[in-house]
Amino acid sequence: MEEKTVKVLIIGSGPAGYTAGIYSSRANLNPVIYEGNQPGGQLTQTTEIENFPGYPEGVQGPEMMDQIRQQALRFGAEIVSKTIAEVDFSKRPFRCVDEDGNAIYAETVIVSTGASAKYLGLADEEKYRGLGVSACATCDGFFYRKKVVAVVGGGDTACEEALYLSTLARKVYLIVRKDYLRASEVMQKRVRDRENIEILFNTNTVGLFGEDGVEGAKVVEFKGTDKERVFDIEIDGFFLAIGHKPNTDIFRGQLDMDAEGYLLTAAPTTRTNVEGVFAAGDCADPIYRQAVSAAGTGCRAALDAERFLMEHS
């Protein structure tokens, strides 16, 4: 097995990780970015990004992530297409082990592992995963041309996914557990104005059915009240858009985190409870979760790591 020592190890490759790579490589710190099994992070699964500054006409998520990646490479960041499987933050340099068992000793670590889509927890989601259940409309929407699909959730992601799917599918149900959408006004309006989207408010999904794939969902309206109504909707695809869970399991017991697993940092810095370990992006952000805010914290983490290395050299 190989071993090497680096000044800055960046774990994760969304806007936070790549931006940390740009800053720390420009500071001659020769960062190594482990980009994990979804290089570019969640934005590689989205369509158009309209709110990242500098793109007045919008930009496709994968294209923007590739550009930020190229920018990190241009200044000498090393990018490794593997995941870090294990870390030991008990002493410096920190010993981190990749998926193949190779050890990397890092003087500082920037954690930017992002977050992953949540599922409802129904056994049927497992049963039909890849057979009609998806958490990524842009990845799988193509398979549902002229079909009927459902999207679960009432936030911006759910609205965005529903709108995207409505351009492909014949009909889209938006299944919302409350009696209102949490999404921004502009997204709500777009959804309401789209003829082939039907919003089912006060509705929860309790199961899926179908022979070789999803053919329908069993849903309950006004669950637990005297107006409760259980009925089936016929669908070919079932898309989850109910938020995200931070990818921080490998840091449990070493880095302080909140009840949901979001890493805690000493605001306004990106310092975690372990000196020399910094956190950036969605893994430490339960509130804003935007590409631009993730990129911002990636910059801050790189500057924090640089300062730390100056003070400890």
**Which parts of this chain interact with ligand NDP (CB under 6 A)?**
51, 120, 152-158, 160, 177-178, 182, 242-243, 289
Report, in Å, the least distance between residue 3 CB and ligand NDP: 39
CA end-to-end distance (rounded Å), the chain: 28
Q: Which residue is nearest to ligand NDP (CB)?
A: 155
- Of 26 and 177, the one with the shorter C-beta distance to ligand NDP is 177
- Of 33 and 163, the one with the shorter C-beta distance to ligand NDP is 163
Cα–Cα dist 240/45, whole Å: 13
Report, in Å, the least distance between residue 83 CB and ligand NDP: 23
- Of 125 and 304, the one with the shorter C-beta distance to ligand NDP is 125
Helix (H, G, I), strand (E, B) or coil at 24: helix
Give catalytic residues, as residue numbers. 136, 139-140
Planar angle of CA 33, 11, 297, nearest 5 degrees = 95
Q: Which residue has the tokens 């053919």?
A: 215
- Of 131 and 292, the one with the shorter C-beta distance to ligand NDP is 292
Report, in Å, the least distance between residue 241 CB and ligand NDP: 6
Report, in Å, the least distance between residue 181 CB and ligand NDP: 7
Q: Which of 148, 169, 158, 147 has its CA nearest to residue 120?
A: 158
- Per the CB < 8 A criterion, the answer to whether 59 and 292 are in contact is no
| Tokens found for residue 98 | 């990749």
- Of 156 and 198, the one with the shorter C-beta distance to ligand NDP is 156
Report, in Å, the least distance between residue 220 CB and ligand NDP: 11
Cα–Cα dist 31/17, whole Å: 10
Give the residue ranges of DSSP H helices in the chain.
15-26, 61-74, 123-127, 137-140, 156-166, 185-193, 291-311
Report, in Å, the least distance between residue 184 CB and ligand NDP: 6
- Per the CB < 8 A criterion, the answer to whether 251 and 243 are in contact is no
DSSP string, 212-261: SS--EEEEEESTTSTT-EEEEEE-SEEEE-S-EEES-GGGTTTS-B-TT-
- Of 186 and 266, the one with the shorter C-beta distance to ligand NDP is 186
